[in-house]
Amino acid sequence: MSSATIVPLPDATDRALIVATQAGLPLTPRPYHALAEQIGISAEEVMERLIRMQECGIIRRIGLVPNHYALGYTSNGMTVWDVPDDRIHILGPQLGALSFVSHCYRRPRYLPDWPYNLFAMVHGRSREETDAKVEEIARLLGKDDRGHAVLYSTRILKKTGLRLGTRGD
Amino acid sequence: MDDIDRSIINALQEGFPICERPYAAAAERLDIDEAELLRRIGALREQNTISRFGPLFHAERLGGALTLAAMRIPPQEMDRIAALVNGHPEVAHNYERDHVFNMWFVLATESEAELLAAIKAIEMETGYPVYNMPKLEEYYLNLRFAV
């Protein structure tokens, strides 16, 4: 959550830059110059701001995200695990290090209904492949796996995106 | 998608330079020229082979509040409750999943207080509890796929 990490918040110019790159980096030889023109600052300032936002983690990186569905990874399971709280700081990074895990987070339990505290998204090219990877995680966790479940999405009920950067100051 | 496309996807997942002619710099490392790299990224985007090319933001660090929430909805009630939940503009995406906790959605607001207010409003409207499951710790986030 936002309160958990203390990093400087983006200012109004950063936000303008975030909004200008919502659809992606311009596909033109000097993309940072194009952004500069769009928001009315110099290209040097655009680059400095991007570097600074990258250093403080507002930008994870500038790069490409493949569409994993288009690449054949169509079986995506949200795996949830009940692991001991005093071991999760060791187990979380171990799951995250697996090549087929894309996101790995700790989230709260709601006992007794929801005992799971560790979430890992697992991607495979078929249900069988994904199920086999889930078994691999179970073996890795051993006795620390006190219970787990795999939740496959059966329907998209809404998809609008996060409207990043459109929030006011 | 040919070998050059594959090498572009693999290389640019790792990062992209910040300099005057970044496409020229990235292209040089891929042994192609700037114009070809621009053309190929454009085509990959068109074909929907890539879902994003540009800065990847850390959503929690943009100043808003964000959480994952879950609900347990009787299957015969799913469509009605989904319509109520989706009616809230704070609900960014919402998935049905094959579990008793069968509705999973992301809530994004400007503040923590608004987040809790949206959860309360959804509970009041639907009559079902909302399980707020914010990220307590991030161990890993990787959207890289070798192709």
Residue A67 lies in a domain: no
Q: Is A140 on the interface with B (CB under 8 A)?
A: no
Same domain, A22 and A83: no
CA–CA dist B115, B130 (Å, integer) = 12
The predicted complex's ipTM stands at: 0.79
Q: Which residue has the higher pLDDT, B29 or A162?
A: B29
pLDDT tens, position by position, B70-118: 999 999 999 999 999 999 999 988 999 999 999 999 999 988 999 999 9
Q: What CATH number is associated with residue A138?
A: 3.30.70.3460
Per the prediction, chain B carries an average pLDDT of: 93
| A6 inside domain | no
∠ CA B84-A165-B129, rounded to 5°: 25
Domain ranges for chain B:
3-46, 59-132
Task: Name the token pair of B14.
Answer: 């790792």
Of A114, A9, A25, the closest CA to residue A63 belongs to A25
- Ranges assigned E (strand) in chain A: 59-66, 75-81, 101-106, 118-124, 148-159
Residue A157 lies in a domain: no
Contact between chains at B137 and A152 (C-beta distance less than 8 A): no
* A79 and A145, same domain (yes or no): yes
CATH of B59-132, one of 3.40.50.720, 3.20.20.70, 3.40.190.10, 3.30.70.3460: 3.30.70.3460
Asked whether residue A61 is assigned to any structural domain, the reply reads no
Rounded average pLDDT over B42-60: 90
Q: How many domains does chain A have?
A: 2
Instruction: Please check whether residue A65 lies inside any domain of the structure.
Output: no
B17/A112 Cα distance (integer angstroms): 49
Residues A27 and A89 placed together within one structural domain of the fold? no
Assess if residue A118 is contained within a domain: yes
Q: Do A49 and A101 have their domain in common?
A: no
- Structural domain span for residue A20: 11-55
Q: Do A167 and B15 touch (CB under 8 A)?
A: no
A-to-B residue pairs, Cβ atoms closer than 8 angstroms: 252
In this structure, the answer to whether residues A93 and A47 fall within a common structural domain is: no
On whether any CB of chain B is under 8 Å from the CB of A142, the answer is no
In a domain, A25, yes or no: yes
Please report whether residue A63 resides in a domain.
no
How close A12 comes to chain B (CA, Å)? 11
Average pLDDT over residues B24-43: 97
DSSP class per residue in A106-146: E---BTTTB---EEEEEEESSHHHHHHHHHHHHHHHGGG--
What is the 8-class DSSP label of residue A99?
Answer: T
pLDDT tens for the 169 residues of chain A, in order? 444 445 678 899 999 999 999 889 999 999 999 999 999 999 999 999 999 999 998 998 999 988 888 888 888 899 999 999 999 999 999 999 998 998 899 999 999 999 999 999 999 999 999 999 999 999 999 999 999 999 998 888 988 755 544 333 2
